[in-house]
Chain A
Amino acid sequence: KAGVTQTPRYLIKTRGQQVTLSCSPISGHRSVSWYQQTPGQGLQFLFEYFSETQRNKGNFPGRFSGRQFSNSRSEMNVSTLELGDSALYLCASSLAPEAYEQYFGPGTRLTVT
Chain B
Amino acid sequence: AQRVTQPEKLLSVFKGAPVELKCNYSYSGSPELFWYVQYSRQRLQLLLRHISRESIKGFTADLNKGETSFHLKKPFAQEEDSAMYYCALSPNSGYSTLTFGKGTMLLVSP
Whether A94 and B86, one on each chain, are in contact in the complex, defined by CB atoms closer than 8 angstroms, is no
- B98 with A3: CB separation less than 8 A: no
Tell whether, in the assembled complex, residue B95 and residue A105 are in contact, meaning their CB atoms are under 8 Å apart. Answer: no
Interface mask (B27-61 → A, CB under 8 Å = 1, otherwise 0): 00000101000000001111001010000000000
Q: Which B residues are in CB contact (< 8 Å) with A3?
A: 43
B69 within 8 Å of A (CB atoms): no
Within 8 A of B (CB), among A62-85: none
**Which residues on B sit within 8 Å (CB–CB) of A102?**
46, 95-96, 98
Q: Is A56 among interface residues, defined by CB-CB distance under 8 A?
A: yes
CB-based contact B44/A97 at 8 Å: no
Question: Interface readout for B87-98 with A: 1 if CB under 8 Å, 0 if not?
Answer: 000100011111
Bound form: Cα–Cα A103–B51 in Å: 18
Given contacts A3-B43, A43-B86, A102-B46, contact A97 B94 (CB under 8 A): yes
Contact with A along B65-104 (1 / 0, CB 8 A): 0000000000000000000001000100011111111110
**Any B CB within 8 A of the CB of A22:** no
> Nearest chain B CB to A28's CB is how many angstroms away?
16
How many interface residues does B have (CB within 8 Å)? 20
Residues of A within 8 Å of B, CB-based: how many? Answer: 27
Beta-carbon contact of B96 and A31 below 8 Å:
yes
Q: Which of B32, B94, B102 has the most C-beta atoms of chain A within 10 angstroms of its own C-beta?
A: B94
Evaluate whether A56 and B96 lie within 8 angstroms (CB atoms) in the complex, with A104-B43, A104-B44 already known.
Answer: yes
Q: Is the CB of B100 within 8 A of A55?
A: no
CA distance A100 to B34 in the complex (A): 9
| Distance A102 CA – B45 CA, assembled complex (angstroms) | 8
Interface residues of B (CB under 8 A from A): 32, 34, 43-46, 49, 51, 86, 90, 94-103
New contact pairs (10) apart from A4-B43, A43-B100, CB-CB < 8 Å: A35-B98, A48-B97, A55-B96, A58-B97, A92-B96, A94-B95, A97-B96, A100-B90, A103-B43, A106-B43
Can you name 30 A-B pairs with beta carbons within 8 Å?
A31-B96, A33-B96, A33-B97, A35-B98, A42-B101, A42-B103, A43-B103, A45-B97, A48-B94, A48-B96, A50-B96, A55-B94, A56-B94, A56-B97, A58-B97, A92-B44, A92-B96, A97-B96, A98-B94, A100-B34, A100-B46, A100-B49, A100-B51, A100-B95, A102-B98, A103-B43, A104-B44, A104-B45, A105-B43, A106-B43
